[in-house]
Copies of this chain bind each other. A is one copy, B any other.
């Protein structure tokens, strides 16, 4: 997606440790016009799919998923990172190791909101080592729902997540795949 790549080059910041900061437009401050263009692009890419629900994970996936959902006319469900006393009854749960926060989360979705009748589009902001995405896939599988596709805004192509997910035969569309970064020059190389 050309507009996204241009925005990454303009406002993304490459940091030591293979970190790309896009917090000025994607995952701390959010540019809603850009999110709408992202929504249109996912709709174009998944136009042939019969999607009735979008699943994402808190926190930074939620805003993207809600804007994207407008183009599919479907509700959003977000997986929650810890058991809350406001989640009652039974839940699907899995464990996700966070690269960013260096800890393991319990991640849950209420059984009320995911079932074998659902055809799910999974949406998230980043795909790197794939732990979060693998957890979401696990939740959908536990529910007996169908994964119609996975839409990622930025995939870090040098980490194993993309290959792992594609290796499972899942349909993964990433709007920008980054194959290299240089924290000294600030260079970003797209696939």
Say yes or no: is A76 at the interface (Cβ < 8 Å to chain B): yes
Confirm or deny: A178 has a beta carbon within 8 angstroms of a beta carbon on chain B: no
Q: Which residues of B contact A75 (CB under 8 A)?
A: 25, 29-32
Q: Which of B21, B29, B86 touches A100 (beta carbons < 8 Å)? A: B86
Chain B residues with CB under 8 Å of A25's CB are: 75
Say yes or no for A24: interface residue by CB 8 A criterion: yes
Min CB gap A86→B, angstroms:
5
Question: What range describes how many residues of A lie at the interface?
Answer: 35 or more
In the complex, the count of this chain's copies comes to: 2
Specify which chain B residues have a CB less than 8 angstroms from the CB of A40 in the assembled complex. none
Chain B residues within an 8 Å CB radius of A88 = 15, 21
User: For residue A62, which residues in chain B have a CB less than 8 angstroms away from its CB?
Assistant: 58-60, 62-63, 66
Residues of B within 8 A of A19 (CB): 85-86
Does A77 lie at the interface of the complex (its beta carbon under 8 Å from any beta carbon of B)? yes
A42 is an interface residue with CB less than 8 A from chain B = no
Residues of B within 8 A of A36 (CB): 70
Q: Does A160 contact B (CB under 8 A)?
A: no
Q: Is the CB of A23 within 8 A of B76?
A: no
Q: Is A113 an interface residue, CB under 8 A from the partner? A: yes
Bound together, the chains give a CA A115 to CA B104 distance in angstroms of 34
**How far does the alpha carbon of A185 sit from the alpha carbon of B137 in the complex, in Å?**
39
Q: Is the CB of B70 within 8 A of A24?
A: no
